[in-house]
Amino acid sequence: MRLFTALIERGRAGLLGTLLALLSWGLTAQTSLAAANPQTPEQCVQQLVFDPNSGSFLTSDNPFLLSQKTINCYAWQMFIAMNWPVNPGWPTNPSLAGEPDLHSPASQFGVPTHTSQPMSIVPLWSSYKDANDIFLPGAVPPSAWGVQAPAPVGCQARASLGSVRSGARKFLTATSESAVSARHRFHISSSTPATTPDPTLEATGGWLTDQAGNLVYFERKVGKAEFDYIVANSLYDAADQLRVATNQDGKSPQGLSLPAGAHFRNPPAKPVAQEQLGAFEIKAAWRILTGKPQLYSRYLTSVTWLQRPDTGECAQEVVGLVGLHIIHKTESLPDFVWTTFEHVDNVPDGGPAPAAGYTFNNPNCTGSSCPPNQERITCNASGCTDNFPRSEPVQVSREYPLSSYMNALNSAVQQAIASKTNGQSVFQYYKLINVLWDGSPTAPSPEPGANAPAPLVYGTFNSDGNVPAANTVLETYIQNVSCDGCHKNAKIAGKSGLAADFSFLFENADSAKQPTLIRSLP
């Protein structure tokens, strides 16, 4: 009887242990699921990583379960990683371009050394390769990774910059959002032959002038995985683009396909090498802040050479970041994840106006006297016509308001950044506008495939609020079109009409091997 009772008690204990184990596993699984699926702004903030030594800091793939809210959180993680200080050994050691400063603490993220001086540190993405330094006239091979282009010949430092500390690094060269017409080697603003880009042109509609009467300048950057792919395949030459896109040598069955990041089920324990991160492309917009030191503590700033396209004047200026695109190709998102950020002072978005006023909007100018988002130039087959003087401010407004969730997420992340930096970080003044991603990509195999024509489409894109993902300073005049609406039409250089894997950069290639690919164009 005692033995029977003991067996029953032991069975009960075993069953209880099993139930407790199952309960514990369920709680752990639920916690893991929540960690992989942040659905609230608070959960997103808890997942954000401000430690460059962590494998979750800059990942080669999205670490979360796919949904709009988790992709929004992933966008903020990329913003943090991309704006982390680059290794201070760059540019003296070019190989350190794109490598984060592993010793910089979260408390210094975006904190100026001197509030009345431009930033003395360089964000990671700014050490990426300038697109204008890759696709050169005559298809000359680009300089090595991390090597900066010299300042333009004949440029002079402005006297008003005499008080700027010499520690402020020059990292912005005057490249362009849409350097040269796709019908090649012509400025789209004047239809005159050109071998250098116009740094003030948007993707369409012309230039953007702020309320102070200053032009906005644009630049484009390329990450190491994409740069290495371009160099390894000589894609800076249009003839080699055609060779790869059509698999002429039998070595490129995937066609012209930018590298995707290494896939993982769980975030890696240590940082992933740049070569395994997948393709990154960056687009940035900058306003001139020279002589406005009271604003330096609100912007990512730099000292740079800028050349006016209309007068040819070239001078050093202090500039502040007003818009940023980050796009990333990954294994689970082979047609890229498209993220876009803006400065909070750009245009009215609800809430009180900034003390210094909006950069691109005058709330006191309304009606027919200030129609919003008016294109600066009109183009047709015979050329382009200027509609306004370049000094006339553009009245910019946002055509698609941010969703209530996006506003809440931005507020939570901004507060987190402010908390970590004692309210001193410039990055608390930036916000996520939208994220475009493909929830069900069915990429060709091999992807995107040899002889793939443009437009390149193989999925269904989603965005927050199901509205076009557009930036008021990078797509001022086409806010009704999402990124994929344009980039699906990206082609290689020449007349083949073959797709360039969503990247417009390749259309700017010249050719030394087969010049008629380019120069025969009308």
CA-based R_g, the chain, Å:
25
Q: Distance of CA 223 to CAs 145, 355, 356, 397, 453, Å? A: 9, 36, 35, 31, 25
Q: For residue 202, what pLDDT is reported?
A: 81
Q: What is the pLDDT of residues 477-505, one digit of tens each?
A: 999 998 888 999 999 999 899 999 999 99
Contact 455, 502 (CB under 8 A): no
Q: CA-to-CA distance for 449 and 466, rounded, in angstroms?
A: 29
Residue 300, amino acid: L
Q: pLDDT value at position 366?
A: 85
Query: What pLDDT shows up at residue 163?
Result: 56
DSSP 85: B
Q: For residue 45, give the 3-state DSSP assignment.
A: helix
* Tens-digit pLDDT profile for residues 435-457: 999 988 888 888 899 999 999 99
Judged on CB neighbours under 10 Å (0-12, 13-18, 19+), 312 is exposed
Token pair, residue 377, equals 């130039």
153 vs 32, residue with greater confidence: 153
Mean pLDDT estimate for the chain: 85
Would you kindly state where each structural domain of the chain is located, as residue ranges?
A: 42-519
- What whole-number distance in Å separates Cα of residue 489 and Cα of residue 500? 8
CA 218 – CA 131 distance, rounded (Å) = 11
Both tokens of 183, joined, read 């019908």
Model confidence pTM above 0.75: yes
Say how far apart CA 403 and CA 254 lie, in whole Å: 38
Distance, CA of 188 to CA of 198 (rounded, Å): 9
The pLDDT assigned to 164 comes to 58
pLDDT tens figures, 269-279:
889 899 999 99
Lowest mean pLDDT of 20-29, 217-226, 309-318, name the range. Answer: 20-29
Q: Which neighbouring-strand residues pair with 343?
A: 430
